[in-house]
Amino acid sequence: MKNTKGFTLIELLISLGLLGGIILALFQTMGSTTQVSNSTNASNDLIREGQIGQQLLSAQFKEACYVYPAAATVIMGSSGYTTKNGAGYTWTVNTHPIVALILPPASNDSTGATYRFYAYYAIPRSQYVSGSTPDASTNPGPDVTNDSTTWMLMEYRKTINTSNTTNFPTPFNCAQLAANSNFTILGGNAALLTDYITPVAASTDLFSVGGVASIGGAAFIDYNLRLSRTTREGNIVTVGGGSSGTTMTAKVYPVNLLP
């Protein structure tokens, strides 16, 4: 009689159990690898975005001919979401996360009469996303995990033409321009500069101005960029401010602070 060998039910169950354990281990390894990869990608994206913002800030601050001093107030609008500060529209230097400055006419300005006002400030991401048209090219879209915990760094700009000597008698310096009753910063344009800025409770967390320049205003600007994002897996990735060995901090002394 021929003897036929095969697996017993117990052997089959044990084999299936071992196979299941191997598959589970592979899935866990793949999941862990995916989490690490997503965190690494998020970190690289934040570093890249932060460095772009850092380069622009340093260049603009370096060129300033007037920096609004501590306690100066700035109002860039009376409606809309891009210039809103909490419940109102009044921003105070070294109290709120804002720095404001005036730049001299650009080198390609043949008239030498068009000065430029700039302000950099942070608003909640949720405020920007909910206020912008969903399909607008400037709207990065909602990010449920991060909308309520991160901020956006904004750039506001307004050109000031001083060729009208009745309104802007010459000669004058940037400090006199800032104090001129015909100098208005309303009607400028606000745009998103850097996404996923970490929450700031006071200006010194992001911007701080100090010293006194020869024509009044502040003599230097400190800034400290920190960006943070929570991945889909719940991992918090933070760069800048010394986090993860990255620093996006500088003290800038403008070169045009002369009458």
Contact 139, 191 (CB under 8 A): no
3-state secondary structure (DSSP) of residue 113: coil
Distance CA 148, CA 22 (A): 40
Distance CA 139, CA 7 (A): 62
Contact 65, 174 (CB under 8 A): yes
Name the residue type at position 51: Q
Strand partners, 224: 249
Give the pTM: 0.83
241: region left, alpha or beta (phi > 0 left; psi from -120 to 50 alpha): left
Report which of 72, 256, 58 is spatially closest to residue 178, judged by C-alpha positions.
72
Distance CA 203, CA 201 (A): 7
Distance CA 8, CA 2 (A): 18
Contact 129, 212 (CB under 8 A): no
Tens of each residue's pLDDT in the chain, 259 residues: 555 555 676 767 777 777 777 777 666 655 555 555 667 788 888 988 888 999 999 999 999 999 999 999 999 999 999 999 988 999 999 999 999 999 999 888 877 889 999 999 999 999 999 888 766 667 888 898 999 999 999 999 999 999 888 888 877 788 888 889 899 999 999 999 999 998 766 555 799 999 998 778 999 999 999 999 988 888 888 888 765 567 788 999 999 987 5
3-state secondary structure (DSSP) of residue 13: helix
Report which of 101, 96, 157 is spatially closest to residue 123, judged by C-alpha positions.
96
List the alpha helices (DSSP H) in 96-164.
125-131
Distance CA 43, CA 35 (A): 12
